[in-house]
Amino acid sequence: MLKLLKTEWFAWTHYPLRFDRKNQLVHVHRTDGSVFSVPWNKIFFTTGLNHNKGTTNDYYISGHVLAKDNITVKDTFCLPASCNNLEELKSHWEFIRRYMEEGPEKLIQQVGFCLPIANKKESYSFTFFYLMTLYKGAPYIIIPFLVPLAFIFSIPRYIGILTSRRPIWPESIQKLCYIDKDDPYVLDEYKNPKNLWRDFL
């Protein structure tokens, strides 16, 4: 319970990463609220296997910031995705790599929607929607039985959101990541499908 309070409640609503393609930097929000930036080509990425998630044993991707000896790890962060299928997780990595090294031109169509949390906390309606998307692909006949489960799980999740602070990037990073008004590849929540339930369930 204490671990839950420390990591999920009275903490941060999320721990964002910012892939700054123009400056070839990755900006990272630590769990203690501090922020650091590191050059893209100085990060050592690797996969790992989490054995602490019951029967799923999900794979994840970590980025390590190394010291000058290229051995000592100075800092570590994880990409916000995990999966029990390693090949599927590699596709997530390839999306990020291509964005940073090749640009957004051939990737923009792969983004189905953007999380509505850029300038505000997650609403309860989105919390419930997100939990229901975890059951995507389930037979329609069992959906009525999954709704109560999603409701139960939504309560502690939303308590965490209400009791936690929303991370805000420092002004220095905001200036580095300035987006041109005529950028043709801008994607945000305002371009999401009008009916998320219809498109994602």
**In this structure, is residue 154 part of a structural domain?**
no
Q: Please give the mean pLDDT across all residues of the chain.
A: 89
Tell me the pLDDT tens digit for each residue of 114-134: 888 988 999 999 999 999 988
**In this structure, is residue 179 part of a structural domain?**
yes
Tell me the pLDDT tens digit for each residue of 11-66: 999 999 999 999 999 999 999 999 999 999 999 999 988 766 555 678 999 999 99
Tokens read off for 147: 């709704």
Quick one: average pLDDT of 148-172?
95
**In this structure, is residue 140 part of a structural domain?**
no
State how many domains the chain has. 1
Quick one: average pLDDT of 159-186?
93
**In this structure, is residue 110 part of a structural domain?**
yes
**In this structure, is residue 40 part of a structural domain?**
yes
Rounded-to-integer distance, Cα 7 and Cα 192, Å: 30
Tell me the pLDDT tens digit for each residue of 54-105: 556 789 999 999 999 989 999 999 998 888 888 889 999 999 999 999 999 9
**In this structure, is residue 151 part of a structural domain?**
no
Domain that holds residue 61: 2-120+166-200
**In this structure, is residue 155 part of a structural domain?**
no
Spatial contact of 11 and 2, defined as CB atoms under 8 Å apart: no
**In this structure, is residue 131 part of a structural domain?**
no
